[in-house]
Structure 1
Amino acid sequence: MIPLARRLTAVCALGAALTACGTAGPTGTAHPAKSSASSSPSPARPPVLAPGPGGLTPVFEHGPRTRGKTVALTFDADMTADEGRRAASGEHFDNPGLIAALRSLKVPATVFMTGRWADQYPAEARSLGHEAQFEVANHSYSHYAFTEDCYGLPTVGADRMRSDVERAYTSLRKAGVPRPMPYFRFPGGCYDQQALRALSGLGVTAVQWDVVSGDAFATDADAVVRQVLDGVKPGSVVVMHCTRSAAPTTERVVRSVVPELRKRGYRFVKVSELIGESGGNR
């Protein structure tokens, strides 16, 4: 979760920071395809960026600025490994109203889902995973940070980073997501060279953003709307959250931002399309 009005700077020398379908990926997950406009996802593999030097996990922040007004709305479905008790007592880490808004507005979106969230809300995870309008990607299992000093998040050791990501894919498949995408978002957006090396060989592209919505813990929806509208450029990736208790304004934000950006000529796409436009390989 990212604090309000605090632009995150990811820690990494490269800058800036849920798959299978026929071809086995890391841990036997295949790399799925970008959803088509039909009700069934396409079986082709989705685009990914080529690894960096030495096979380092590649990082994607935004799409091309010169290929038209496209923008990707992304939503982090955060839930840490130890928050089950809070969910059992009635705290809502999901946001059905937000998903309903995206459906009614016909906005494609990419949901970065923790494995713990999928364990808690398997029916919602399954529904999202079967709808062509959405693509489900990996946000770790536990939502523990992959670096030290990352917004107060507990940390996962370097020796457990890879297994944490693999465990998340297992939870997504168990929940019924048929083809989780080969995209990974670091909890808190925090990463460094050690984290990128730990995930090398998994076949994932780390997905960051260039627009921080500020919806986390926000109570002023209008302020979040302004922050998004002021930040969006062609090819932008906007980070928001799909956790009702910690981002209560997000549905209202989406209902305001979407028509305004459409009025400005923007077309909404999923992250996979932006990566494809950026030269991603299938």
Structure 2
Amino acid sequence: MITLVRRVTAVCLLGTALTACAATVQPAPRTARPAPSATSAPPTLAPGPGGLTPVFRNGSRVHGRTAALTFDADMTADQGARAAAGEHFDNPGLISALRALKVPATVFMTGRWAEEYPDQARSIGRDPLFEVANHSYSHYAFTDDCYGLPRVSADRMRADVERAYSAFRKAGVPDARPYFRFPGGCYDRQALRELTPAGVTAVQWDVVSGDAFATDAEAVARQVLEGVRPGSVVVMHCTRSAAPTTERVVRTVVPRLRARGFRFVKVSELIGS
């Protein structure tokens, strides 16, 4: 979700900007197709107005105290040299914490991340506690002026998404979900139109954790705890270099939210409900 360019340093600006960049398009009505059986396809939303790719932000506010923790595994197509030099775009400690706490979660993974960390991608994708969803192949922006990210051209948007699914399959992820998160959360009508043939549901969020480039885990945890409501989708990150506090945040917020009666679910369960 975040851009990993160094000049993005103000976490407080991230939450504001993320809200603004998607403001030009209204989300589709949250009318989900029927919840799947164990053998059927994952639930998706019906197409939005004009047949555009539907957008999901949060689940029901009235049908139980559920919340989805989502983690963006970011890596842009041109960051291989930084990874080779020792920069960590993964976060195995975070995944271990989620497993220890038995927290279902949705990981929005870039295809480039899956190529860099195929063993981790396969482990996450084959663990029933998690589901893998699409965060593009390149982590390039689908609109102009999106946190300094390079922009993928309109005629390459669908191919970029499909390339990510190919990278997941090559890494051994058996059934990546038909959910897509725009890099930076930035989208417009054109992007929704270009992705319509891909058959994905775009997944945004209603709680910005603020873990991007944060160094104060307690401040991030407080922001999550103050923001979560029934049906919330929380956006966090699975990248040690860009979000070093996330594991500590999870270890703090999970027991506190459970004490408030919340149950953690994957995005697919929120959509299906």
Structure 2: 5+ residue stretches without partners:
4-9, 28-34
Q: Which residue, 261, 268, 272 being the options, matches 1:272?
A: 268
Q: What is the TM-score when the length of structure 2 is the normalising length?
A: 0.91
| Superposed CA offset, 1:18-50 (max 9, x none) | xxxxxxxxxxxxxxx97x9xxxxx432110000
What is the aligned partner in structure 2 of residue 140 from structure 1? Answer: 136
1:177 paired to 2:173: yes
Which residue of the partner structure matches residue 96 of structure 2? 100
Question: Where do 5+ consecutive residues of structure 1 fail to align?
Answer: 17-32, 37-41, 278-282
Cα deviation digits, residues 108-162 of structure 1 (max 9, x gap): 0000000000000000000111111000000000000000011111111101111
Tell me what 1:4 maps to.
11
Matches within 5 A, 1:102-117: 102-117=98-113
The answer to whether structure 1 residue 127 and structure 2 residue 123 are counterparts is yes
Q: Once structures 1 and 2 are overlaid, which stretch shifts more, 264-273 or 53-62?
A: 53-62
Q: CA deviation at 1:12?
A: 4.9
Q: Please say if residues 55 and 201 of structure 1, whose CA atoms lie closer than 8 Å, have aligned partners that are also in contact.
A: no
Contact 1:68–1:234 (CA<8 Å) still a contact in 2?
Answer: yes
Give 3-state SS (helix, strand or coil) of 2:234's partner.
strand
How far apart, in 2, do the equivalents of 1:156 and 1:58 lie?
A: 20
Q: Secondary structure at the match of 1:74?
A: strand
Which residue matches 1:167? 163
Q: Which residue does 2:255 correspond to in 1?
A: 259
Which stretch shows the higher mean deviation, 131-140 or 45-54? 45-54
**Distance apart, 1:53 and its partner CA:** 2.4
* Paired amino acid for 1:4: V
Structure 1: which amino acid aligns with 2:11? L
> 2:198 aligns to what SS in structure 1?
coil
CA distance in 2, matches of 1:201, 1:155: 20
Aligned-pair distance for 1:52? 1.3
Alignment RMSD: 1.5
Identical positions, percent: 75
Query: Are 1:47 and 2:54 matched, yes or no?
Result: no
1:15 counterpart residue number = 26
Q: Deviations over 1:93-118 (max 9, x none)?
A: 00000000000000000000000000
Q: Work out the CA distance in 2 between the residues paired with 1:249 and 1:13.
A: 32
Query: Number of residues paired by the alignment?
Result: 255
Q: 1:196, 1:58 → 2: CA distance?
A: 8
Alignment partner of 1:200: what SS? helix
Whole-Å separation in 2 of the counterparts to 1:126 and 1:190: 28
Aligned to 2:237: 241
- 8 Å CA contact retained: 1:77, 1:113: yes
Aligned twin of 1:24 = none
Q: Determine the C-alpha separation between the residues in 2 that align with 1:97 and 1:82.
A: 25
Q: Amino acid of the residue matched to residue 203 of structure 2?
A: V
Shift of 1:54: 2.6
Alignment correspondent of 1:200: 196
1:213-232 equivalence runs, <5 A: 213-232=209-228
- For 2:244, give the aligned amino acid: P
Give secondary structure in 2 for the equivalent of 1:73.
strand
TM-score scaled by structure 1? 0.88
Counterpart in the other structure of 2:31: none
Residue 14 of structure 1 and its aligned partner are, at CA, apart by 3.1
Any conservation in 2 of the 1:111–1:136 contact (CA below 8 Å)?
A: yes
Q: AA paired with 1:11?
A: A
